[in-house]
């Protein structure tokens, strides 16, 4: 079973033996918000906050963004610059040509 964004955060934080309040202070977010994240009761999370959480926990932020169902901004910009190139890449990937 695949872990949710919140489960990944909580499990890694606990594995690192960082308390919720201490973690919240490190990432400059409220303990309440961290608790909501870990319990999957959040509405949105800014990419900058995902990056800070990821860096603090030693997790790839792109992986976390994708777990949220979001694409990092730099990739969105790249896709918008040349959508045909991305389309062709994805088609090749889908057909196992890469």
Is 44 within the bounds of a domain?
yes
Q: What is the pLDDT of residue 94?
A: 78
Is 77 within the bounds of a domain?
no
Q: Report the distance separating Cα 64 and Cα 68, nearest Å.
A: 6
> What is residue 43's DSSP assignment?
S
Is 79 within the bounds of a domain?
no
Q: Report the distance separating Cα 42 and Cα 22, nearest Å.
A: 20
What radius of gyration, in Å, describes the C-alpha atoms of the chain?
Answer: 16
3-state helix, strand, coil in the chain (%, to 5): 65, 0, 35
Residue 2, helix vs strand vs coil: coil
Q: Which residue segment(s) compose the domain that 18 sits in?
A: 5-71
Is 38 within the bounds of a domain?
yes
Is 89 within the bounds of a domain?
no
Q: Which residue has the higher pLDDT, 36 or 77?
A: 36
Q: How many domains does the chain have?
A: 1
Asked if residue 20 lies in contact with residue 13, where contact means CB atoms within 8 angstroms, the answer is yes
Is 35 within the bounds of a domain?
yes
Is 95 within the bounds of a domain?
no
Q: What is the pLDDT of residue 35?
A: 97
Confidence of residue 84 (pLDDT cuts 50, 70, 90): confident
Q: What is the pLDDT of residues 9-36, one digit of tens each?
A: 999 999 999 999 999 999 999 999 999 9
Is 96 within the bounds of a domain?
no
CATH of the domain at 56: 1.10.260.40
């Amino acid at each position: 079973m695949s872990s949710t964004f919140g489960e990944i955060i909580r499990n890694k934080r606990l594995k690192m033996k960082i308390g919720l309040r201490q973690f919240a202070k490190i990432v400059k977010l409220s303990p309440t918000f961290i608790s909501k994240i870990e319990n999957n009761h959040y509405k949105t999370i800014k990419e900058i906050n995902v990056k800070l959480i990821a860096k603090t926990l030693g997790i790839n932020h792109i992986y976390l963004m994708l777990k949220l169902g979001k694409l990092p901004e730099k990739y969105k910009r790249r896709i918008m610059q040349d959508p045909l190139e991305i389309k062709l890449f994805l088609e090749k990937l889908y057909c196992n040509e890469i």
